Structure 1
Amino acid sequence: MKANSLSVGYQEQLILKDLNVTLPKGKITVFLGSNGCGKSTLLRTLARLLKPQGGNVVLDGQDISKQKTKDIAKQLAILPQGPVTPEGLTVLQLVKQGRYPYQNWFKQWSEEDEKAVQKALESTRMTELQDRAVDSLSGGQRQRAWIAMTLAQDTDIILLDEPTTYLDMTHQIEILDLLFELNETEGRTIIMVLHDLNLACRYAHHIVAIRDGCVYAEGEPEEVISPAMVHEVFNMTCQVACDPLFGTPMCIPHGKGRCLQRIQQQEGAQNEREMSYSS
């Protein structure tokens, strides 16, 4: 999947500007960037929810704007940020919505649909909760229910807009572990927007750093994440170390105020020790 010279805007404001990006098949890609840089706009355009003002999105060699909506829905699924569930809707009823692209006047609910739904529930470990109302679940369980719906859609590509937003650290890891497992065991192409640089480095095979509607850098985490990139894209000073558990890049922000004062104090103490040793 790739975007060619993509320009997208809202009214007269251009958000994406002649953007080019290629997303590797069967890998996990993460879009990174500051608020308002165009990450979600790019994701929504890839899913054909937004119409580009220039350029195009190509899927399996074809311009998605020239394909039928149901055909697109059989190739990619998108989970938007903060989806809202109708009150009282059960997990099972929600997951069944993922089979909509396969329904028509001539083909109603089938054994194939049932198998896809049950597999989605099992993959997300939601089988025991399938009769619970979605709005009665915890944040992590609710997000797993929505992911189950996208899995029931049975697409090779899944796009997710900030799937860990509003979740505590435990549930963030739970959701990202689930997506990583889906990629590893089923070869699904996962494309998502994340804010946490360190989690992005741990889980992504491919990172796209976006700045002001353009691709600033893309590649493996080790190729993209650097103090210079973080400063240019996020306007933040940091050090980049090696994650002791995963061996991936780990950003350590310098911060401001008290944090910066502490760093300066530590550097001063280190300098004093070095001077005492030399004397």
Structure 2
Amino acid sequence: MHSLSAKDLTLGYGETVIIDGLDIEIPKGEITVLIGGNGCGKSTLLRSLARLLKPKSGNVLLNGEEIAKMKTKEIAKKLAILPQSPVTPEGLTVYELVKQGRHPHRSIMKQWTKEDEDAVQQALESTNILHLQDRAVDSLSGGQRQRAWIALTLAQQTDIILLDEPTTYLDMTHQIEILDLLFDLNEQKGHTVVMVLHDLNLASRYAHHMVAVKDKKIYAQGTPEDIITCELVHDVFQMKCNISCDPIFGTPVCVPHGKGRSVGANQKKRAAI
């Protein structure tokens, strides 16, 4: 199983520094979720781990080797990334999209093989979209489309999968479907999954390991049960809250303070009338 880490990593755009001197080691075979306020650098960090962004200084290490010095195809055989809101070429079918995941394993001289076809079919089956393989991707629902993109990453047959906000723009049902799928891939096939999520409660439910980013550094990291506290939510998200326990899963649940409808107050109002 492949390892992924970063040492003294500094990232930014132009003169602006987003991440400064950060060290991180991604636990093998677990689900790691990056959390933090808007603009804190979560997506920037994820892109750097996939070598989509060149560091200002420091190194990203894949199996202890500097990823900057590795060949692109060599990286793509070990690590796959699904960016936020990927754009699908018009008219491309699900099968044609997922087939592109085999690109790192192919060359100009190499014909399409049974191994390639098996990898595509397994990816379609794992994401439960085999019956959609002849449909145009742009004709699918949001949840189906996201499954197709995840199938593409699975067809790469990498140990490590990085996902930038994979539940964005999805309704609650499709959010759970996608996260359940990623959870099953981790549980059944041992994929190391790293993703950015905004929903703190869903992140706590699915993550084995969480990394909270604030002020260009790692503010805290560990299991959700160890790090999700009222203090962390206040410091990282500038929000007061209560932390309770999910009655089904036993994971932390954040209940924000703020204005809202009071059931007790409404009952009293109706009684007065």
Q: In structure 2, the residue corresponding to 1:36 is in which secondary structure?
A: coil
Q: How does 1:197-212 map to 2 (within 5 A)?
A: 197-212=200-215
Counterparts of 2:164 and 2:218 in 1: how far apart (Å)?
18
Q: In structure 2, the residue corresponding to 1:184 is in which secondary structure?
A: helix
2:187 maps to 184
1:109 maps to 112
2:99 maps to 96
1:171 lines up with 2:174 in the alignment: yes
* Equivalent of residue 216 in structure 1, options 216, 219, 231: 219
Deviation at 1:158, TM superposition (A): 0.2
Structure 1 unaligned spans of 5+: 267-279
1:80 maps to 83
Deviation at 1:262, TM superposition (A): 5.1
**Residues 55-76 of structure 1: per-residue CA shift (max 9 Å, x gap):** 1011111111111110000000
TM-score by length of 1: 0.92
Paired residues in the alignment total: 263
Counterparts of 2:24 and 2:142 in 1: how far apart (Å)?
32
**Residues 227-247 of structure 1: per-residue CA shift (max 9 Å, x gap):** 000000000000101100100
2:138 maps to 135
RMSD: 1.5
Counterparts of 1:223 and 1:61 in 2: how far apart (Å)?
28
* Equivalent of residue 159 in structure 1, options 145, 162, 183: 162
Q: Which amino acid aligns with 1:240?
A: I
Q: Which amino acid aligns with 1:94?
A: L
**Residues 107-130 of structure 1: per-residue CA shift (max 9 Å, x gap):** 221111000000000000010000
Whose radius of gyration is greater, 1 or 2?
1
1:31 maps to 34
Q: Which amino acid aligns with 1:7?
A: T
Counterparts of 1:26 and 1:233 in 2: how far apart (Å)?
27
**Residues 242-278 of structure 1: per-residue CA shift (max 9 Å, x gap):** 10010001100002xx33x959x98xxxxxxxxxxxx
Q: Which amino acid aligns with 2:94?
A: V
Counterparts of 2:137 and 2:194 in 1: how far apart (Å)?
24
| Stretches of 4+ aligned residues off by more than 4 angstroms | none
1:14 lines up with 2:42 in the alignment: no
Counterparts of 2:30 and 2:128 in 1: how far apart (Å)?
22
* Equivalent of residue 244 in structure 1, options 243, 247, 250: 247
Q: Which amino acid aligns with 2:150?
A: I
1:253 maps to 256
1:228 lines up with 2:215 in the alignment: no
Deviation at 1:212, TM superposition (A): 2.2
**Residues 22-75 of structure 1: per-residue CA shift (max 9 Å, x gap):** 110000000000110000000000000000011101111111111111000000
2:271 maps to none
Structure 2 unaligned spans of 5+: 266-273
